[in-house]
């Protein structure tokens, strides 16, 4: 049993919060590059991607609406040219993304089609969200795709987004992007799949006494201080600080969020069945929360 970061909480309340996930209807699932690639080579892990697609298709069969926020475009582009490590320049990163995004979507469309599902590509930038007209159009597109029964596959448009350059339109990582998508479509639940089990009181890779936190009822300044800017692999970009930022966006807008380990993507089913997997951040809708203010001022 993990530590519960809930001042006045109880085991019964946490159990009820977990069980409530079973009834969630509209779900955003985010999976990072490090979770979609082989550790040894950095190449796409096709077996894991196939399992992910099968699980999402099964959720669709249970009447759920699912949006997948998927990293992996740059990794797919690197694989095409047998390039090891991170891209050397921004231009190279964007070139890999241009090549890899097409390859990644080809894989998703082929695998989803095997389970009688239709995948749709949606590429976003921060500019899409802060512009009222483009945000409205994006929202309408999501709604129509979900109405049609498609599975939107979302990524940041890395071919035009430049996260290394400050003050330019970008999200910087898909953790925050997935939270923004959750707000945009009014999702009930956001699941962040990463290379860690969830939130710890400190980095468990360097501190053996770090406590696992299984439930968070309120995101406090002390909790935010636990976030680390460093990512855990040479493939991914989002550290714990980005995940906590995503949790703030999601929970303030009224969506529950879970951080869980993507080592076994079956964890999605376990979360949806109410099992205590990962860290659950409970929704606490903040009527003063303004997504546009956050996007323009926080990063």
The residue segments making up the domain with residue 216 are 3-297
- Along the 299 residues of the chain, how does pLDDT read in single tens digits? 344 555 444 566 678 889 999 999 999 999 998 899 998 888 899 999 999 999 999 999 999 999 999 988 888 888 888 887 777 788 888 888 899 999 999 999 999 999 999 999 999 988 888 888 999 999 999 999 999 999 999 998 866 665 443 333 455 578 999 999 999 999 999 999 998 899 988 878 788 888 899 999 988 887 877 765 444 444 344 478 889 989 999 999 999 999 999 999 999 999 999 999 999 999 987 777 777 777 766 65
What sign does the dihedral 183-187-193-198 (CA atoms) show? positive
Q: What is the pTM of this model?
A: 0.88
Structural domains of the chain, count: 1
Distances (CA, A) of 66 to 33, 120, 189, 210, 261: 19, 12, 10, 33, 19
- Which CATH number characterizes residue 256's domain? 3.40.1160.10
Which residues lie closer than 8 Å to 192 by C-beta, 6 or more apart? 30, 175, 178, 243, 246, 257, 258, 259, 260
């Amino acid at each position: 049993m993990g530590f519960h970061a809930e001042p006045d909480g109880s085991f019964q309340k946490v159990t009820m919060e977990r069980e409530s996930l079973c009834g969630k209807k509209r779900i955003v699932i985010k999976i990072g590059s490090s979770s979609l690639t082989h550790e040894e080579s950095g190449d796409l892990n096709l077996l894991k991607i196939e399992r992910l697609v099968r699980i999402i298709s099964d959720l669709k069969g249970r009447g759920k609406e699912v949006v997948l926020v998927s990293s992996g475009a740059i990794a797919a582009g690197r694989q095409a040219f047998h390039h090891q490590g991170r891209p050397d320049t921004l231009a190279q990163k964007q070139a890999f993304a241009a090549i890899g995004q097409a390859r990644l979507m080809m894989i998703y469309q082929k695998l989803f089609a095997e389970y009688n599902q239709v995948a749709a590509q949606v590429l976003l930038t921060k500019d899409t969200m802060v512009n009222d007209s483009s945000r409205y159009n994006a929202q309408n597109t999501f709604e129509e795709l979900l109405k049609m029964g498609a599975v939107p596959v979302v990524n940041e448009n890395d071919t035009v987004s430049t996260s290394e350059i400050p003050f330019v339109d970008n999200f910087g990582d898909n953790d925050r992007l997935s939270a923004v998508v959750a707000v945009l479509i009014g999702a009930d639940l956001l699941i962040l799949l990463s290379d860690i089990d969830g939130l710890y009181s400190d980095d468990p890779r360097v501190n053996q006494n770090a406590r696992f936190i299984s439930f968070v009822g309120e995101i406090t300044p002390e909790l935010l201080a636990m976030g680390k800017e460093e990512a855990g692999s040479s493939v991914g970009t989002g550290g714990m600080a980005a995940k906590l930022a995503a949790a703030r966006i999601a929970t303030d807008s009224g969506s529950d969020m879970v951080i869980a380990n993507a080592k076994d993507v079956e964890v999605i089913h376990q979360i949806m069945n109410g099992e205590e997997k990962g860290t659950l951040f409970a929704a606490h809708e903040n009527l003063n929360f303004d997504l546009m203010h956050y996007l323009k001022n926080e990063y």
